[in-house]
Amino acid sequence: MDKKGGGPVELDSLSLKWGTLKSWHLHSEKGVELLRRYHDLGTSASAMTVRDTPEQKELICQIIDECNCPTIYLDWDGKDVSKDEAKRYVMEYTR
């Protein structure tokens, strides 16, 4: 149940690949707004060719924090990690 006693709270999902966003399913207004800001800065259709700016990396970290899910999926590694590990992955990823 949500905090207001309504229906069940929907869990978000987020997966990362090559140090950037691969797929997502966000429900909160803040999460959707952060995602819009990320895309407004420019991105590629393929995660493999994306070169995120420092501002975009920070937005991804904010999206991770806002994401209503216990873990984040690292697609290339095939595993779920904590939000802190996911943010470290984004900020430290190099090609």
Q: In sequence order, what E strands does the chain have?
A: 13-17, 20-25, 72-74, 79-81
Question: What is the CB neighbour count within 10 angstroms for residue 79?
Answer: 11
Summarised one tens digit per residue, pLDDT across range 9-33 is 789 999 999 999 999 999 999 999 9
Q: Mean pLDDT, the chain, as a whole number? A: 88
Six token digits for residue 54:
């420092």
Q: Domain residue spans in the chain? A: 28-73
pLDDT tier, 2 (very low <50, low <70, confident <90, very high otherwise): very low
Query: CA–CA separation, 94 vs 9, rounded Å?
Result: 36
Summarised one tens digit per residue, pLDDT across range 27-72 is 999 999 999 999 998 876 655 567 899 999 999 999 999 999 999 9
Six token digits for residue 27:
């429900």
pLDDT of the residue at 46: 59
